[in-house]
């Protein structure tokens, strides 16, 4: 195989080239010395027998000079670096030198010619010997052999032919055959040599690679943070590296031949270990299995295991190779995170529960405050001053109620109990309603209000909640405005299917630092000011808008004003969809219209203040009513009396409102209207009331108008 054909960039070919040139030059000390000795012997023998002693001298001088020059060349080669030895120059010089040497030897029959047949034969034998000898040193390269052999032998043959003796002609023929066989033998030797070189180099490099691999493995085995452990089929440890010592605390000597299960397996993990073992026996490699282990000091640790069975040539399992990573810290961190998450969730739940129960507790006294204040408003005997005080109490009570409602909303959102009903909301309807609601406030604060109630199009939202958000933004724009300032509500198509609703005011504005916290609950920026507020409105608005798949944001400049915007899915370029029907409220003046006295209502209420209030409210609305303190009393009362309607509190001693309704229905009375009166404003409470057999649900504090509407609905 000719390596010169192989790509010179191939490292193996480079190695072969180097090996060849080294072998060629490496053979020179012996072959040159032998050549000098042979040349001197030939010279001494032919000296008295050659045709021209002078020519013989010339030959000797030439051949010794050539050998001298080549020896110097060989010496210089031996001093070169590996990289330099690979240069083409050395190869070419060797080829030229070999060719010249072959030519010099070919000159011997010419310059050392002897007419005496035995001496000429001696020359012939010597040359054949030299040529044969060259086979061993020059056949590393086919070219060098040819370059030496051809001039040496062809000149000899030529000389023989010149002699023109029959004997010599025959010898020439024999010599030609000899040359042919020498060349083909040389070629074979060359091929074998090449093959040997290649095989030897390949074996060398493989050996080196294996050696390197062993070194690396040893390095990894000792320095890896992975415990590398092997054990036999009886579970006795056969391999235990440094990391295994560090992780499990047993030294190599302590661990070897010990049972792996006894050493490092904690009792709690025996089931998992058994499962893992079964998988291994099924020739399955197990990766990433996390097992609780124990150290020498019995400390529990968590390790991640990568395990594979080791098999013999018959595919029988002879042992197990395992790697283990100590993940105790990671595991502890994970557990700590889970625990703190659980704690945070618990705390959040506790906060939500607290907020909802607090709002429930606040509703009961508020019910009394707002209810009695509302009743007092219709008291004709009060002076103007007293009426004004009543108004103040009513305003403060309403603010408190708003706070309670907002807290309740917040708790419901956080608990995930707030249900939205998404629909196409016509903006003009919504704008009209909010305008009606905020107009009195705008007038009171001497502001200008610009709301485009003709706005076309719709947004996808929950109607009530969208209104709640708009009202919150508008009431802020009014509250935090300047005297004679302006408030504007408008809508524009922001993107193909996104509508932006903006509330713009000309108020004091908000500084960039304050903008960061504005949507956080209970963040009141100007707490020092006397503007009433709870600090929760924007936080609820943000959560509501996000629940409606929208975004809320604010752009504000101090002393110029703010723009609060909400982006919702929608389209302004379509005709407005069907109007949303809100229940129409009756005016205050219709409140106390005399009712039909013949309606007899049973009221079940345990709280004395609430008892007085509801009885007074019913009286103000013109109804007659009887009062009981709990469900049991109500049931007793109903045995001998006929009632047209039952108003019942939900939470009462003995028999509560739910049980009361349920019992009435179970006893076969399906016609009596039953209306719950409860301080619990959660929608699920309403569902519970309906499920128990009630017809309706009124939330305390009960507004007189709402009470009247409800009674009218059932009593006609």
Residue listed under structure tokens 């050395």 = 90
> Whose Cβ is closer to ligand ADP: residue 133's or residue 535's?
535
Query: According to CB under 6 A, which one of 301, 323, 518, 566 is a site residue for ligand ADP?
Result: 518
Q: Which of 690, 713, 703, 694 is nearest to 604 (CA)?
A: 694
In eight-state DSSP terms, residue 520 is S
Residue 472 binds ligand ADP, judged by CB under 6 A: yes
> Whose Cβ is closer to ligand ADP: residue 63's or residue 478's?
478
Which segment (91-99, 144-152, 244-252, 517-525) binds ligand ADP by CB under 6 A? 517-525
- The secondary element (H helix, E strand) that includes residue 412 is helix 384-415
Query: Least CB distance from residue 389 to ligand ADP, whole Å?
Result: 25
> Whose Cβ is closer to ligand ADP: residue 135's or residue 482's?
482
Per the structure block, which two tokens stand in for 388?
């004004």
Residue 534 binds ligand ADP, judged by CB under 6 A: yes
> Whose Cβ is closer to ligand ADP: residue 20's or residue 563's?
563
Query: Least CB distance from residue 353 to ligand ADP, whole Å?
Result: 23
Omega of the bond leading into 371 within 30 degrees of 0 (cis): no
Distance CA 363, CA 702 (A): 10
Distance CA 137, CA 26 (A): 9
Which segment (138-146, 388-396, 408-416, 527-535) binds ligand ADP by CB under 6 A? 527-535
> Whose Cβ is closer to ligand ADP: residue 535's or residue 553's?
535
Per the structure block, which two tokens stand in for 209?
């690679």
Residue listed under structure tokens 């690679």 = 209
> Whose Cβ is closer to ligand ADP: residue 309's or residue 533's?
533
Per the structure block, which two tokens stand in for 322?
């395992």
Residue 544 binds ligand ADP, judged by CB under 6 A: no
For the chain, how are helix, strand and coil distributed in percent, rounded to 5? 60, 15, 25
Distance CA 88, CA 336 (A): 70
Tell me if 183 sits within 8 A of 145, measured CB to CB. Answer: yes
Distance CA 451, CA 552 (A): 19
Query: Least CB distance from residue 572 to ligand ADP, whole Å?
Result: 24
Cα 583 → chain centroid: 51
- Return the residue nearest ligand ADP (CB atom): 533
- Residues 6 or more apart whose CB falls under 8 angstroms from that of 491 comprise 427, 431, 452, 455, 457, 499, 500, 501, 502, 572
The Cβ of residue 38 has, within 10 Å, a number of other Cβ atoms equal to: 17
Please give the size of the binding site for ligand ADP, defined by CB under 6 A: 21
> Whose Cβ is closer to ligand ADP: residue 430's or residue 469's?
469
Residue 536 binds ligand ADP, judged by CB under 6 A: yes
Q: Assign 653 to helix, strand or coil.
A: coil
Per-residue 3-state assignment (H helix, E strand, C coil) for 535-569:
CCHHHHHHHHHHHCCCEEEEEEECCCEEEEEEEEE
Which segment (49-57, 176-184, 232-240, 531-539) binds ligand ADP by CB under 6 A? 531-539
Query: According to CB under 6 A, which one of 507, 550, 657, 701 is a site residue for ligand ADP?
Result: 507
Residue 524 binds ligand ADP, judged by CB under 6 A: yes
Q: Which of 551, 565, 552, 571 is nearest to 424 (CA)?
A: 571
Residue 538 binds ligand ADP, judged by CB under 6 A: yes
Query: According to CB under 6 A, which one of 26, 535, 553, 622 is a site residue for ligand ADP?
Result: 535
Residue 537 binds ligand ADP, judged by CB under 6 A: yes
Residue 98 binds ligand ADP, judged by CB under 6 A: no
Query: Least CB distance from residue 523 to ligand ADP, whole Å?
Result: 6
Q: What one-character-per-residue DSSP string does 317-355 give? A: EEEEEEEEEE-HHHHHHHHHHHHHHHHHHHHHHHHHHHH
Query: According to CB under 6 A, which one of 103, 148, 231, 480 is a site residue for ligand ADP?
Result: 480
Tell me if 417 sits within 8 A of 682, measured CB to CB. Answer: yes
> Whose Cβ is closer to ligand ADP: residue 356's or residue 541's?
541
Per the structure block, which two tokens stand in for 229?
């452990």
Which segment (18-26, 108-116, 270-278, 526-534) binds ligand ADP by CB under 6 A? 526-534
Which segment (19-27, 322-330, 408-416, 471-479) binds ligand ADP by CB under 6 A? 471-479
Query: According to CB under 6 A, which one of 171, 476, 607, 678 is a site residue for ligand ADP?
Result: 476
Query: Least CB distance from residue 471 to ligand ADP, whole Å?
Result: 11
Alpha helices in 498-630 (DSSP H): 512-517, 537-547, 608-620
Residue 525 binds ligand ADP, judged by CB under 6 A: yes
Per the structure block, which two tokens stand in for 49?
């027998």
Query: Least CB distance from residue 549 to ligand ADP, whole Å?
Result: 21
Contacts of ligand ADP in 556-585 (CB under 6 A) = 562
Residue 502 binds ligand ADP, judged by CB under 6 A: no
Query: According to CB under 6 A, which one of 155, 247, 510, 621 is a site residue for ligand ADP?
Result: 510
Give the binding site for ligand ADP (CB under 6 A): 472, 476-477, 480, 505, 507-508, 510, 518, 523-526, 533-539, 562
């Amino acid at each position: 195989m000719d390596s010169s054909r192989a790509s010179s960039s191939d490292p193996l070919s480079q190695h072969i080239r180097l090996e060849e040139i080294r072998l060629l030059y490496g053979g020179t000390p012996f072959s040159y010395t032998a050549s000098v000795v042979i040349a001197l012997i030939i010279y001494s023998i032919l000296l008295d027998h050659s045709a021209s002693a002078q020519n013989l001298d010339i030959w000797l001088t030439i051949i010794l000079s050539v050998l001298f020059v080549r020896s110097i060349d060989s010496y210089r080669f031996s001093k070169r670096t590996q990289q330099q030895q690979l240069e083409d120059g050395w190869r070419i010089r060797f080829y030229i030198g070999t060719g010249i040497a072959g030519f010099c030897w070919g000159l011997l029959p010419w310059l050392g010619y002897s007419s005496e047949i035995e001496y000429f034969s001696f020359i012939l034998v010597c040359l054949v010997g030299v040529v044969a000898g060259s086979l061993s040193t020059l056949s590393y390269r086919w070219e060098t052999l040819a370059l030496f052999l051809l001039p040496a032998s062809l000149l000899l043959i030529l000389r023989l032919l010149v002699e023109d003796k029959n004997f010599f002609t025959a010898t020439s023929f024999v010599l030609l055959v000899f040359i042919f066989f020498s060349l083909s033998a040389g070629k074979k030797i060359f091929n074998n040599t090449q093959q040997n070189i290649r095989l030897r180099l390949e074996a060398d490099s493989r050996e080196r690679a294996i050696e390197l691999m062993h070194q690396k493995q040893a390095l990894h085995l000792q320095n890896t943070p992975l415990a590398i452990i092997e054990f036999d089929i009886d579970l006795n440890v056969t391999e235990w590296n440094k990391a295994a010592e560090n992780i499990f605390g047993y030294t190599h000597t302590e661990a070897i031949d010990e049972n792996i299960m006894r050493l490092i397996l904690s009792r709690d993990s025996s089931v998992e270990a058994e499962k893992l073992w079964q998988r291994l026996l099924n020739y399955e490699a197990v990766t990433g299995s996390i097992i609780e282990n124990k150290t020498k000091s019995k400390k529990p640790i968590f390790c991640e295991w990568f395990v594979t069975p080791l098999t013999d040539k018959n595919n029988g399992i002879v042992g197990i190779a395992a790697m283990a990573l100590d993940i105790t810290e990671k595991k502890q961190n994970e557990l700590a995170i889970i625990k703190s998450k659980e704690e945070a969730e618990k705390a959040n739940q506790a906060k939500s529960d607290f907020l909802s129960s607090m709002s429930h507790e606040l509703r009961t006294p508020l019910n009394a405050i707002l209810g009695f204040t509302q009743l007092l408003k219709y008291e004709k005997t009060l002076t103007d001053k007293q009426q004004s005080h009543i108004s103040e109490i009513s305003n403060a009570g309403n603010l408190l109620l708003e706070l309670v409602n907002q807290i309740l909303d917040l708790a419901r959102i956080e608990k995930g109990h707030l249900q939205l009903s998404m629909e196409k909301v016509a903006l003009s309807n919504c704008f009209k309603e909010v305008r009606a609601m905020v107009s009195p406030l705008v007038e009171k604060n001497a502001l200008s209000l610009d709301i485009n109630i003709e706005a076309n199009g719709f947004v996808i939202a929950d109607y009530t909640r969208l209104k709640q958000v708009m009202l919150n933004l508008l009431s802020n724009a009014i509250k935090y405005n300047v005297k004679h300032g302006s408030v504007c509500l408008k809508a524009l198509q922001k993107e193909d299917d996104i509508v932006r609703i903006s509330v713009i005011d000309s108020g004091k504005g908000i500084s960039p630092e304050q903008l960061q916290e504005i949507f956080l609950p209970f963040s009141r920026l100007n707490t020092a000011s006397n503007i009433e507020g709870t600090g929760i409105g924007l936080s609820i608005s943000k959560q509501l808008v996000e629940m409606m798949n929208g975004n809320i944001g604010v752009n504000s400049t101090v002393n110029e004003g703010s723009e609060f915007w909400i982006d919702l899915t929608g389209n302004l370029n379509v005709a407005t969809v069907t109007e949303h029907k809100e229940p129409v409220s009756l005016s205050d003046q219709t409140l106390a219209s005399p009712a039909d006295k013949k309606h007899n209502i049973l009221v079940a209420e345990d709280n004395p203040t609430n008892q007085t209030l509801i009885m007074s409210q019913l009286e103000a609305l013109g109804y007659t009513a009887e009062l009981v303190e709990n469900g049991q009393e109500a049931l007793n009362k109903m045995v001998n009396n006929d009632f047209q309607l039952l108003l019942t509190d939900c939470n009462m001693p003995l028999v509560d409102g739910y049980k009361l309704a349920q019992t009435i229905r179970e006893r076969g009375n399906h016609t009596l209207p039953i209306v719950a009166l409860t301080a619990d404003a959660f929608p699920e409470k309403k569902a519970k009331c309906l499920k128990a057999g009630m017809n309706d649900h009124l939330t305390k504090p009960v507004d007189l108008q709402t009470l009247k509407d409800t009674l009218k609905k059932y009593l006609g």
